Chains A and B, each alone.
Chain A
Amino acid sequence: MPSKNEFDVIIIGGGITGAGTARDCAMRGLRVLLIERHDIATGATGRNHGLLHSGARYAVKDSESAEECIRENKILRSIASNCIEDTGGLFITLPEDEEAGFGLDYQQKFIDACQRAGIEARAISPSDAREMEPSVNPSLIGAVVVPDGSVDPFRLCAANVTDAAMHGAKVLVYTEFIDFIREGDTIQGVQVLDTRTGVKAEYRAPVTVNAAGIWGHGVAEKAGVHIGMYPAKGALLVFGHRVNNVVINRCRKSADGDILVPGDSVTVIGTTSTKVPFEECDHMEVTPDEVRLLLREGCALCPSLASTRILRAYAGVRPLVADDSDPTGRSISRGIVCLDHETRDGVKGFISITGGKLMTYRLMAELATDAVCRKLGVNQACSTAETPLPGSVDGRIETVSKRFEGKVTLGQKGAAGRQGDLVGKLRFDSDADKQLVCECENVTLAEIKYAVAELGVRSLGDLRRRTRVGMGTCQGTLCIRKAAKALAQALGDPSLEAKLAADYLDERWKGMRAVGWGDTLREMEFMQRVYKFEKPYSYDEI
């Protein structure tokens, strides 16, 4: 009987790649440990557009990525239906694109490349495009319809982690990788630090997978191997309501701020691409210049953005594998890099899975798991492409809602949308359980209790990633103390309330500061009025 600290495989990183790899390994019968130093989906996984790429964006320049994308696009639609919205996408051509050499000739080249990659793409007239998406820039001269969509990366990552755990994987969040346990040229496990308690521990496994995104660069260095990673920062803006219902792209060479994605109740514009030093990856701030650029380009896609309140700004770092000859990082392939460090560097028991993108996480996980199985001599085929994720087995709200007795409330409907067929686990035992805590996103007390009991939630940020609490148009202004109180009680320590709220507000504040003018600044003043910490009108006295 192996000790509780021994596993078949240890996976470092609780982003979508690590989560997917943990799921795949667990489904193939391996004993899996997943460690993550913060919460799941806190790196690039939770800091992107949430775009379900059709692959069209890559079709002209990188047919391999395009083919991967469309294959995975179709797979995700079937295994992760609860995380995906089939919005459709448009690639529009504007008069200025034509002047820059990306006119209708380029559009034809684009359509041909899409079709070669297996992506359905058809040109429609500008007037049809405006009927399909009324918010689109009316001066467009051409449009192509592609099967883009939107994906909720938090939900997708959580579903993978949940399924890994359901298949026996051990998941440790707030557990930081410190160093490898090494015997000669073999990696035998990891030393970790529980960042909450400060307690160190050791875990052993014959194979360790580095799935730490951009931070994988540092993880590899600890093993004495070098991966030439290229940290490419991408900044994005979230707008206060859903301006468009169809993904809008520019039909030209990829550039900054040329994708507008509707997701849930908001719209997101992005991204930029700038190389940043590794030291900055933990502290991404969106600069005024980036905001200006995104707004300018966003308005070219959809002019009404100019008068739409910006909720917040955020930035992530793409874990691209570097090519020193290109200073922008745009021409680097978004392709998958799976490195067996035994053959590459002579370090046994160590694999890195990096590059790639949210869209291809499942394929990345499959490749990494294949490599793990080869090392362990396990002969099990991958089944992640056919097996729906928890929540997406039958995620239709009508079906899911049947699990509730009586009239289905808004909160139950919201929970059904987020938790899919796992919503049966929510307990609506009392009227209080049905009460809405977050009224923007319809999150009930029952869902908060469920997230604490079943999804490993410890902070309001964790709760946001599982339930969308505080993610709506008020950005938590009207619900965060309620949510903090409910969470503190669910965690069994009511004294945590003020700290939970303060941490969350600092995090929201960061995203708002970058876009702090106009109506956003009005919202910020309002937020300050609502929460006067240690001031005469504290929340408790009202």
Chain B
Amino acid sequence: MKFDVVIIGGGLAGTSAATELQKSGLKCILVADGLSLYNCPKNEFKAAGGTVLQGDRVVSGDFEDGRLLRVYTAKLGNEPLEAGQFVLATGKYFSRGLVADMDKVYEPLFNLDVEYDADRPSWFDPSFAAPQRFLEFGVKTSGALALKGGVPIENLYPAGEVLAGVSSAQGDATEQILNSARQAVRAIRKTDYAGE
């Protein structure tokens, strides 16, 4: 299946980016794992003509020359989702956008570059209510693009809490999350129009 944009993750960042992109005339698919949340924005996205792949999750992707070509999902198996652009909005640890091992934090889908500290005791403040460093970890970016092995992936845009420095766990981060989604949308529109 071929789309203009694949949006991975059906949270606040994923649904708002998907809706905006679909409304600007791009053919989008939203892969939304987990609970049936954010139904209102999902419905808006669907009303604009978008496709939602509910209850499925992306498991891997093919890269070539610094681009992500296609992704595979758990349920579609060998049938990939191909697209010109990709948004990664998989969230932090709880939604498995990031995975922490005993001594490292990684991005489990594409092994993107992650900003973290290898010294695990430094991840936490002894006071529960204090800011916690582990919530600051996330994928690195160059402009709006994800980095893999230090090299920008020219069509992969992380958005929302998967990003370093973005977390809603300790306070309201709605604006920050929406801004990151808007940044991805702007960058995709720009690329897309430039390509036409």
Q: Give A contacts to B, CB under 8 Å.
A: 288, 291-292, 502, 505-506, 508-510, 513, 516-518, 521-522, 524-529, 531-537
Contact = CB atoms under 8 A, between A and B. Distances in A.
Interface string B89-117: 00011101001111100000000000000
A521 B100 contact: yes
A510 to B, nearest CB: 7
A517 B101 contact: yes
A529 B96 CA distance: 15
Contact of B100 (A509, A518, A533): A518
A344 B171 CA distance: 61
A518 B94 CA distance: 10
Interface string B117-131: 000110110111100
Given A513-B121, A518-B99, 8 more contacts: A506-B127, A509-B126, A516-B123, A521-B93, A522-B96, A528-B132, A529-B94, A532-B169
Given A525-B93, A526-B94, A506 B172 contact: no
B63 to A, nearest CB: 27
Given A526-B94, A537-B172, A518 B101 contact: yes
Interface of B: 92-94, 96, 99-103, 120-121, 123-124, 126-129, 132, 134-135, 168-172
Contacts of A537: 172
Contact of A522 (B94, B101, B129, B170): B94
A506 B128 contact: yes
A403 B127 CA distance: 43
Interface of B is mostly: loop
B118 to A, nearest CB: 11
B170 A532 contact: yes
Given A522-B93, A532-B171, A535-B171, A517 B124 contact: no
Given A292-B102, A531-B128, A536 B171 contact: yes
A508 B169 CA distance: 17
B169 A517 contact: no
Contacts of A531: 128-129
A286 to B, nearest CB: 11
A224 B180 CA distance: 67
B102 A288 contact: yes
Contacts of B171: 532, 535-536
Contacts of B126: 506, 509-510, 513
A541 to B, nearest CB: 12
Given A505-B128, A510-B126, A534-B129, A517 B100 contact: yes
Contacts of B120: 288, 516-517
A529 B169 contact: yes
Contacts of A517: 100-103, 120
10 shortest interchain CB distances as A-B pairs? A528-B169, A533-B129, A505-B128, A535-B171, A509-B128, A517-B100, A513-B124, A536-B172, A521-B100, A522-B93
Nearest to A531: B128
Nearest to A501: B128
A527 B170 CA distance: 10
B100 A502 contact: no
Contacts of B121: 288, 513
Given A506-B126, A522-B93, A533-B129, A528 B172 contact: no
23 contacts: A288-B121, A291-B102, A502-B129, A506-B128, A509-B124, A510-B126, A516-B123, A517-B100, A517-B101, A518-B100, A521-B93, A521-B100, A524-B132, A525-B92, A525-B93, A525-B94, A528-B169, A529-B94, A529-B168, A531-B128, A532-B169, A535-B170, A536-B171
Most chain B C-beta atoms within 10 Å of own C-beta, residue among A288, A506, A516: A516
Contacts of B94: 522, 525-526, 529
B144 to A, nearest CB: 25
Nearest to A518: B100
A528 B123 contact: no
A333 to B, nearest CB: 35
Contacts of A536: 171-172
Given A529-B169, A532-B171, A516 B128 contact: no
B128 A535 contact: no
